[in-house]
Structure 1
């Protein structure tokens, strides 16, 4: 079979996961508590079905079996995160040797199976003790993160050539400091801006530390969830609303990461609204001289916006939504389980934007995926027949392929996720994996999509 859609040689086929959502063993082998362990203990009612992260998909104990399955479904790369609270319990000080052994074993097992490890340093899981010191609002925590990053580079840098400072750094900002869906459940735009700013300072400082080590053939980047902002119409008011949404939700991280500076328009809005963060003297040069080598792009859905219909309540807390309304486009295609629009062309629009406005930076799709409830409905002869997932991936890959043909510097596609995993507050409500996880027995069974992606990877296209 000759593939109609052929991808460049050396294209990365794989998936992504995070420590808290996959490892389990939340209190084993000296691991410290992170904010998720703590929040679940405090308010289990905020978690779907009251299920917390203590077991997850038990990768901590089953990584060998899981990596064999990755190999079986054609992975040549896999992104995972290191748990800061496992490696350095409490976030500062003594390194946990059992954690060092675990991560070394995982890396070695991946390499033995010809799967390139991509390591992400932070995926929403702040050590509890550091959250109590102010989390990302605190420069002390920023410095602790840089020390943690250095430990990781020194321990694993000789084996790992792809590093990422953060995954979706905007999510702790939105969830923890604006919209109350992550701990510490603060609703305060001022503090949210400080958290966002300090996170990018932490990323730049980690990049600076990484470069000072001159690790051969290694690159460092960041993973951002980019949601193209589409206006309802070409009316100037709608265009302005879409531009502001883009500034808040995309360019607030994309510009400092790639260009080393913040968009002037964004700074103007932040100043005008009295939201300026505390900055330090050397920050500007730090950001401009420590931009990323490559970009991971998480794409799930577009953002559609229109001009505000009503004036915001002057008594209510200031929110990004004060500047635009969300717009539900008639006839849009939906993933009803997640309440998200499916818009495959968005992946192409992101790639073209990176080509046109961000120096065609080397990038890859670091997450894309479809969460579906009650997947057991689709079991036939012992296997989940998830044709909807195959169609979802294929339709996105067709647009991704088009962007590559038009000169976009896209190097790979990682699915969220390898195996059905624990989701932050949704637990196991929606399933995302190529591999089905039986929650009662912890048995792993390859879904139809797993066999499909194996062929795609083997043929480097379809």
Structure 2
């Protein structure tokens, strides 16, 4: 993988067979929420009782209409240079009651999507859970329930058996820490519980569900690989002062290593266990849990990277009677002069992607991984419309390029990175933000029958993929 200006004027070349594509999810793109036997997820239910919690009161009923337009969309993927694409199978569509009968109309839909991708030279990557707990399972206490773990493992096995002859890359969960943070700590998402100990149980049970799904996959002897997709947000201390460094280490334990270590190394970080034990916050661990986690490491890792986390030593102790939060052990730190995406309020710091790559290389056995999400959400993109009708999103092209320069550097230094997936292929519905920020290579016009128009970035992405570099 040489760096050269020769041939094609490429400065950054990527390895042969590098994955270029994008990531999306079933609940954020399919729509057809009450069509062909699908039943409610927690998102449908939450929107039905509190629509005011969603930007412009836009709910998940139609999202981006992929259910009806997938053939057109897959052609557009081809036109934007995709050789791979990740989406998810919705549990509430495939097994609408959580357990029991499989919905044949859902089987037909996912078969058509998979076959259409393959027919167009696009490798399907399939994820099984993207924040979308079926409401009937949440009524049984969601990830706090062992019954729900068993139901999820049954769902996973059903998917492997139905689609595993063609899908070679499987992922158990996308960003499993997000339902913990959003649903059980910070009161951002349904079920709006604020209770660290319950959150810790949700996290542990999710990891057990993941490990049991990996175990089932291996027993089926399918010709593929299985992993998980984690959003890694490296923690940086304000300074090299020992108290700041310790604060960053603690933040890293909670937000990265809590999931990364058990799925790769088969055990929880000991210092995290100690912190929770001291405070009587350890979740209930049942017989066999630690063994199934230990014995079922992943084949490959998906890494979602958006922003770093910056912290400093705690300045004021937390109130004595306040329910525990990770932030009782460190304070957030806003770095002066940082670059920011004003639409999302997130810091843009491209070289962090390189730090993640080096960390995986040096501390996680250089496990095969790929950048499974990275992207830029922008509000009001219509103001960048070119007179010829497409969105002229040079900022997105620059964002991708600046991150890929650091991916390239990590590759040159031996990191085992297999590809890059942008979030996302087309503008999609983003949970409580709905369509506030747009992330796609392709514009979706919600006012005009979900009309698709490739943005400038989509044309550029095709050249990137064809040239395998830029």
TM range (shorter): over 0.9
Q: How far is 1:317 from its partner?
A: 1.7
CA contact (8 A) 1:17 1:81 kept: yes
SS at match of 1:94: coil
SS at match of 1:227: coil
Aligned equivalents of 1:45, 1:307: Cα separation in 2: 37
Aligned to 1:64: 71
What TM-score comes out, normalization by structure 1 length? Answer: 0.99
CA contact (8 A) 1:33 1:90 kept: no
Q: 1:234 aligns with which of 235, 240, 252?
A: 240
Aligned to 1:277: 283
SS at match of 1:257: helix
Instruction: Give the RMSD, CA atoms, in angstroms.
Output: 0.5
1:444 aligns with 2:448: no
Aligned to 2:48: 41
1:420 aligns with 2:427: yes
1:295-336 deviations in Å (ceiling 9; x for gaps)? 000000000000111111123221111011100000000001
Q: 2:182 aligns with which of 175, 179, 190?
A: 175
SS at match of 1:7: coil
1:331 aligns with 2:337: yes
Aligned equivalents of 1:174, 1:90: Cα separation in 2: 26
CA contact (8 A) 1:17 1:417 kept: yes
1:295 aligns with 2:301: yes
Gaps of 5+ in 2: 1-7
CA contact (8 A) 1:260 1:288 kept: yes
Gaps of 5+ in 1: none
What TM-score comes out, normalization by structure 2 length? Answer: 0.98
1:398-420 deviations in Å (ceiling 9; x for gaps)? 00000000000000000000000
Aligned to 1:453: 461
Q: How far is 1:215 from its partner?
A: 0.7
CA contact (8 A) 1:229 1:304 kept: yes
Q: How far is 1:2 from its partner?
A: 3.4
Q: Which runs of 4+ in 1 moved over 6 A?
A: none
1:320 aligns with 2:322: no
Paired residues, number: 461
Aligned to 1:195: 202
1:42-71 deviations in Å (ceiling 9; x for gaps)? 100000000001010000000000000000
1:430 aligns with 2:437: yes
SS at match of 2:425: coil
Aligned to 2:273: 267
